[in-house]
Amino acid sequence: MRILVPMVAAMALGGCATAYTEPPASASSASMTFARHSSVPRWGHTQILQIVSDEHCTSRNRVKDFVPMGSQDPHSFRVEAGARRYFHLETIHTQGGAYGFQDTSCANTVSFVPEAGRAYTLAHVRGAQACTVELTDTGTGAAPSTLVEHPYDRNCVQVW
């Protein structure tokens, strides 16, 4: 029994994302705001933002979840500027029916190079057939020129 409990705990924590620790405000950081997009209804939909190490989500840090019963206020945080940063966004829709609950999700991984002192907004948009990411520089209203949308990698989607 003494061996079983640590083994179960290690297996449970092995695939988990750790909490994101933002850098202190400095001249070398950029600010980000993750907002729930108007295309995503509150009830029955969860949105997740993670900062990941690369386009394969080798390691992940959970930044924010928008859950139906939680706060829907935009979430602001800082990132170090000057190097490529990767973001994995997922929207999960849960609906119930006669045969139980059904979850459908869509996910995207994007990256860009934030510039020091700049501010960006980030949102996951739910479309009829697919989801997309809106990333804009709040000063210009345009997407950063370094923005890259990465191909789907099944390693990036976790089963909770």
User: Which 3 state secondary structure label does DSSP give 31?
Assistant: strand
**pLDDT of the residue at 5:** 33
**pLDDT of the residue at 6:** 33
The torsion defined by the Cα of 124, 100, 129 and 110, in degrees rounded to 10, comes to: 30
**pLDDT of the residue at 136:** 97
**pLDDT of the residue at 43:** 77
User: Which 3 state secondary structure label does DSSP give 104?
Assistant: strand
Say if residue 55 is exposed, middle or buried (CB neighbours under 10 Å; 0-12, 13-18, 19+).
buried
Q: CA 33, CA 121: separation in Å to the nearest integer?
A: 5
Q: Kindly give the confidence (pLDDT) of every residue in the chain, 160 residues in length, as a single tens digit, with 9 standing for 90 and above.
A: 443 333 333 333 334 568 888 888 899 999 999 998 888 777 777 888 999 999 999 999 999 888 777 778 899 999 999 999 999 999 888 777 666 666 678 899 999 999 999 999 999 998 888 899 999 999 999 999 999 999 988 888 765 5
**pLDDT of the residue at 19:** 87
Q: What is the CA radius of gyration of the chain?
A: 17
Closest CA to 93 of 80, 102, 82, 84: 102
pTM higher than the cut 0.85: no
